[in-house]
Amino acid sequence: MVAPIRVSCILALLVAGHGRAVGQEAVTQAELIRRVVDLDRLATPPPEGERTRMFSSYDRRSQIDAQGRFIDWDANHDAGQFLRRTDDGWDVMAEVDGPGAITRIWSANPHGRIRFVLDGEIVIDTSFGELLSGRLAPFEAPFTERGLNCYFPIGFAQSGRVLARDSGAYYHVNVVEFPAGTPVERFSFTLSDEARGAVADVARVLRDGYDPVVAAGRRLMPVTEQKDLGPGEKLAWDLKGGGTVRALYVGLTDRTDPREPYALHQLVLRMTFDGAAEPQVEVPLVDFFGSGFEPVPFRSLATGTAAKLAFPLPDRPLEEQRFMYCYFPMPYRDGLRLEIENLSRTRRAVGLVFLMRVDTRTPAPDALRFHARYRREDPCQVLGYPVLAVRGRGRIVGCVLNVDCPRAEWWGEGDEKVWIDGEGFPSYFGTGTEDYFGDAWGLHEFTHPLVGVTRAAPWGKNSAYRWHVPDAINFQKSAAFTLENWQHERQWDTYYGTLAYWYATPDAVTAELFPRLTLAELTPPGLRIPGAIEAEDHILSANWGNVTRQQHAGGAELSGEAAANITTSEPVTIGLPVEQARTVRLQLRVNPRRPFETITVTSPTGRTIGTVQYDRRLSGLYDVGIVRLEPGVNRLTVQCSRPAMLDCWVLSDIPRNPRGPEGEDLELSTAEAVTSEVEYGRLPWSAGAQRRLVFARAGASATFALPEQAEERTVVLRLHITHGPDGGRFDVRVNGVAVGRELATYTAVERVERVPVGSVTLRRGANSLSFHSTIPPTPSGVSVLGLDAVDLPPAAGPHVLEFEDFTIAAEEEAFAERQGIGGASGEDHLWCRARRVGASIAFDLTPAPGRYRLALLLTRSFDYGIVQVTLDGAPLGEPIDLFATRIEPGLRVELGEHAFEDGRPRRLRVEVAGKASASPGYYFGLDGLQMEPIR
């Protein structure tokens, strides 16, 4: 049992509050659609009796017992979990009794079938993948994005249920439940004229951006101020009376932007409404606009950093002007004070201009006040990281997350949890940090109107945002919001910072989570690159340039806070120390704010590892190439065509072949007229190397010892071979017996290919693999065979031909591709993505004359169809139903005995004949064909 350290103190805040009743107005489909972009609604109190919640596939082992203890709170099997299963075999994803609407659907792996039963009727019944594909009207872009997020609302008047079949998906279903008796227009694929108009209007806002003037319906009063803020200085402005800030813009007047790292993160924005004792807004300036740590150009519905305004910035042409912006409406009835304070210790002032557009009408007496507050933990050492805890009435409307992880391991398995109105178990229980931000399988940079990731890296700084607009999180009494800090092996070394956005009544009370911001609170970790080797510390040449410290790096963040400023175009020797021999992928990080032209890096042996060219990338990290490093100091030569600022080297071990030994690791038992060497890094070899064999004459041979076997087993032998202009022709033998066809390795251009040999039986103990040259050497005087790696995955049995190794003779809309799959013969199968009855794939068989017993090895899955197998047009047995509730390789279908007497090619065809009613698709998987000779 693991208890989140901070959750108990947050839950203590969740006590009863008060709300007011409102009338029950009809909710039309058009109204639900407009809510997708309705920022004004967020500042209105949530109606009494209106509840929001989220259904998800979170691991059901996570529980809170009667004593309030957290049981398996960090359980992480968050897929394929449902409320229950119905009598007819459907899994219940979400269930609401009463009027309401689905406001958001997300899935990382939408598969199986999904059904929406609204007011007791089946209204939507389709494949889960099709629903989120963006192809199914009206669930199209921009309402559905990236195949993961759907924000098109689905209303119901009496009840709503979402069901799944044959699905093990990760999923979220966000809903709003309206007060009992609220008239709600049920979703229909046939949209009314009003709903079609709403779709067009909302789609235009999602694509083109939000216009606060249009939203206000009137002209807005501009308020502007410009100032160069030195360390410790403030820009301040006061407004009297009542009004609503409809837009807040901040631009930079310095054309080079701040020249120090995190300069805008160390500027604090404060906004105080109605003379409150504490500012309702106190946040790092740049983070408030959705971009964590530092500005990244992006636009979203509520905030962004790249607005174009006609309002001029000093000394900047119009095409270079960019303003950070926020469109969350900010009502006040008794004055507003805005401050921007520079807490940094830098020497340079930051030039700012701010512009507010204010609606001068006094807001409604019950208008909610806008809040945004920032907090961080460095390092975060609790499981339940608190984002927000508030007592009162209001709505949670957004979150920005900043993370700095000093490792390449994934840090974001943690789930979001939100407790509403003092409930014992959270009504929002997520499935992963990236899932909350609309992503999946880690973070990837993307920016959309309601969700996005502005920075993503396997290590270092990450930042993401999410705006709860159609899916605002309502609370009548209280709310507590945590993000689970789920780091592998509980290393607890990662920086977490969050900015919470919410609206609340003026008398709402916020937990003491948010300290007043100081420079210490706003100083994130420096650049932390695992295993980085500092370039400036290992230069062995003279007269190369100088070391540049971070404060002189033009605002860039440097590893080790320094870099080598190479000012000569002559070769410079830089040592690269390693403790043991390694073949690595070499990357070079440069100062990302200092352009260069080309940098060429040469290995200690004189081989060019690679040349990199400047391309403005924000990370400054460039791939150089693959190099073999020996223990000690490896002397690399670096030549810069123009001055360049080298920060550090990053070394990454190259993955090894997972299915068998590397060619360079095999023991060469005998070599007759063959020379052997290990070659590193020239081509994309597994583990970065290959065994290069040079055959001096026809009949020359080389024999390797294969890894000893604990018992006899049949394997699929595949060779990873380098082909090239010096290639030859070779017999392949296992334990002295020829297997497969003659191996030809000549090509005009060098490339690495995986060559199927066939199924072979390895005996217990020692086995050998040998190559025999069958032709004289090429005109160059040699025949070369490059052995990268050897695959030895288990085969389903002797005499099995792998479909993934066949040459396809004919294909009609089968869209076949090799797919790795555990448990299949050879650990691969041929995945055929057919989409209709009649789609087919064919292969030509030309076995040695004789009689054979045939059997087909197939894969079954949740979206597979029914196939018919034919040989020369004649059916082989009955149609085969390949539907199963999960992926199941290894289905064996006997096809009987057949004669192949004349040696002519015979055509084997697999054609889609239909599908089971439970299957959403016509796919099929071909694993192997067993052709057992009959003696």
Is the pLDDT at 746 greater than 80? The verdict is yes
Distance CA 862, CA 209 (A): 40
563 token code pair:
């870099």
255: confidence class by pLDDT, cuts 50, 70, 90? low
Give φ, ψ of 319 to 5 degrees. -70, -15
565 token code pair:
């400023």
When pLDDT is averaged across residues 245-273 and rounded to a whole number, the result is 88
Cis peptide before 933 (omega within 30 of 0): no
Distance CA 540, CA 572 (A): 8
Is the pLDDT at 684 greater than 60? The verdict is yes
When pLDDT is averaged across residues 427-447 and rounded to a whole number, the result is 96
DSSP 8-state class, residue 490: G
Is the pLDDT at 747 greater than 60? The verdict is yes
When pLDDT is averaged across residues 381-402 and rounded to a whole number, the result is 97
317-320 long-range CB contacts below 8 Å, 24 or more apart?
320/255
Whether residue 843 contacts residue 806, with contact meaning beta carbons closer than 8 Å, is answered with: yes
SS3 readout for 824-856: CHHHEEEEECCCCCCCEEEEEECCCCEEEEEEE
Whether residue 228 contacts residue 349, with contact meaning beta carbons closer than 8 Å, is answered with: yes
When pLDDT is averaged across residues 390-395 and rounded to a whole number, the result is 97
Is the pLDDT at 6 greater than 60? The verdict is no
| Residue 675 confidence (pLDDT) | 96
When pLDDT is averaged across residues 41-59 and rounded to a whole number, the result is 97
First-to-last C-alpha distance (Å) of the chain: 63
Which of 677-686, 773-782, 920-929 has the lowest average pLDDT? 773-782
- For residue 153, give every residue at least 6 positions away whose Cβ sits within 8 Å of its Cβ, in sequence order, or none: 29, 32, 33, 35, 36, 101, 102, 103, 187, 470
- pTM of this structure: 0.82
Q: What is the pLDDT of residues 184-235, one digit of tens each?
A: 999 999 999 999 999 999 999 999 999 999 988 889 999 988 899 999 999 9
H or E element that contains 226? strand 221-229
What's the Cα-to-Cα distance from 823 to each of 100, 497, 540, 820, 927, rounded to whole Å? Answer: 45, 43, 53, 10, 10
782: confidence class by pLDDT, cuts 50, 70, 90? confident
112: confidence class by pLDDT, cuts 50, 70, 90? confident
| Residue 309 confidence (pLDDT) | 81
Is the pLDDT at 737 greater than 50? The verdict is yes
H or E element that contains 720? strand 713-723
Percent of the chain with pLDDT over 90: 80
Beta-bridge partner residues of 389: 480
- For residue 741, give every residue at least 6 positions away whose Cβ sits within 8 Å of its Cβ, in sequence order, or none: none
Burial class (CB within 10 angstroms; exposed 0-12, middle 13-18, buried 19+) of 581:
exposed
3-state secondary structure of 196: helix
Whether residue 634 contacts residue 578, with contact meaning beta carbons closer than 8 Å, is answered with: yes
Burial class (CB within 10 angstroms; exposed 0-12, middle 13-18, buried 19+) of 367:
buried
Distance CA 135, CA 130 (A): 7
Percent of the chain with pLDDT over 70: 96
Distance CA 187, CA 195 (A): 10
Distance CA 806, CA 366 (A): 72
| Residue 319 confidence (pLDDT) | 52
| Residue 16 confidence (pLDDT) | 33
Q: What is the pLDDT of residues 602-624, one digit of tens each?
A: 999 998 999 999 998 878 999 99
Distance CA 371, CA 688 (A): 53
Distance CA 739, CA 717 (A): 9
When pLDDT is averaged across residues 564-568 and rounded to a whole number, the result is 97
855 token code pair:
């059997």
H or E element that contains 375? strand 369-377
Is the pLDDT at 9 greater than 70? The verdict is no
Beta strands at 369-377 and 281-284: parallel, antiparallel or unpaired:
parallel
> How many angstroms from the chain centroid is the CA of residue 334?
45
Distance CA 392, CA 584 (A): 57
- For residue 616, give every residue at least 6 positions away whose Cβ sits within 8 Å of its Cβ, in sequence order, or none: 595
| Residue 554 confidence (pLDDT) | 82
> Which runs of E-coded beta strand occur in 108-188?
113-118, 121-127, 144-145, 149-150, 154-156, 159-165, 171-177
DSSP 8-state class, residue 8: H
H or E element that contains 371? strand 369-377
How many Cβ atoms from other residues are within 10 Å of residue 755's Cβ?
Answer: 18
Whether residue 875 contacts residue 839, with contact meaning beta carbons closer than 8 Å, is answered with: no
Amino acid 171 reads: Y
Q: Which residue, 289, 267, 255, 256, is CA-closest to 345?
A: 267
H or E element that contains 22? none
In degrees, rounded to 5, the angle at the alpha carbon of residue 362 between the alpha carbons of residues 357 and 364 is: 115
Please, what sign has the CA dihedral across residues 140, 146, 151, 157?
positive
Counted residue by residue, the chain has a size of 935
Cis peptide before 379 (omega within 30 of 0): yes
Please, what sign has the CA dihedral across residues 867, 872, 875, 877?
negative
Amino acid 388 reads: L
H or E element that contains 391? strand 384-391
| Residue 618 confidence (pLDDT) | 79
What is the C-alpha radius of gyration for the chain, rounded to an integer number of angstroms?
33
DSSP 8-state class, residue 320: G
| Residue 380 confidence (pLDDT) | 94
Q: What is the pLDDT of residues 807-856, one digit of tens each?
A: 999 999 999 999 999 999 999 999 999 989 999 999 999 888 999 999 99
Longest dimension (CA), the chain: 101
How many Cβ atoms from other residues are within 10 Å of residue 728's Cβ?
Answer: 24
Is the pLDDT at 535 greater than 60? The verdict is yes
Is the pLDDT at 2 greater than 50? The verdict is no
257: confidence class by pLDDT, cuts 50, 70, 90? low
| Residue 919 confidence (pLDDT) | 86
Distance CA 733, CA 822 (A): 27
Which of 133-147, 380-394, 421-435 has the lowest average pLDDT? 133-147
> How many angstroms from the chain centroid is the CA of residue 364?
43
| Residue 18 confidence (pLDDT) | 33
Is the pLDDT at 695 greater than 60? The verdict is yes
Is the pLDDT at 139 greater than 60? The verdict is yes
Q: Which residue, 607, 581, 578, 612, is CA-closest to 595?
A: 612
Is the pLDDT at 576 greater than 70? The verdict is yes
When pLDDT is averaged across residues 721-745 and rounded to a whole number, the result is 95
> How many angstroms from the chain centroid is the CA of residue 925?
27
When pLDDT is averaged across residues 378-383 and rounded to a whole number, the result is 93
| Residue 585 confidence (pLDDT) | 92
Whether residue 67 contacts residue 42, with contact meaning beta carbons closer than 8 Å, is answered with: no
DSSP letters of 638-706? EEESS-EEEEEEEEEEPPPPTTS-BGGGSEEEEEESEEEEEEESSS--GGGEEEEEEE-STT-EEEEEE
Cis peptide before 138 (omega within 30 of 0): yes
Give φ, ψ of 696 to 5 degrees. -85, -20
| Residue 11 confidence (pLDDT) | 42
24: confidence class by pLDDT, cuts 50, 70, 90? low
Whether residue 222 contacts residue 212, with contact meaning beta carbons closer than 8 Å, is answered with: no
Beta strands at 737-738 and 729-734: parallel, antiparallel or unpaired:
antiparallel
DSSP 8-state class, residue 367: P
314: confidence class by pLDDT, cuts 50, 70, 90? low
> Which runs of E-coded beta strand occur in 569-666?
572-578, 582-590, 598-602, 608-613, 621-629, 632-640, 644-653
3-state secondary structure of 921: coil
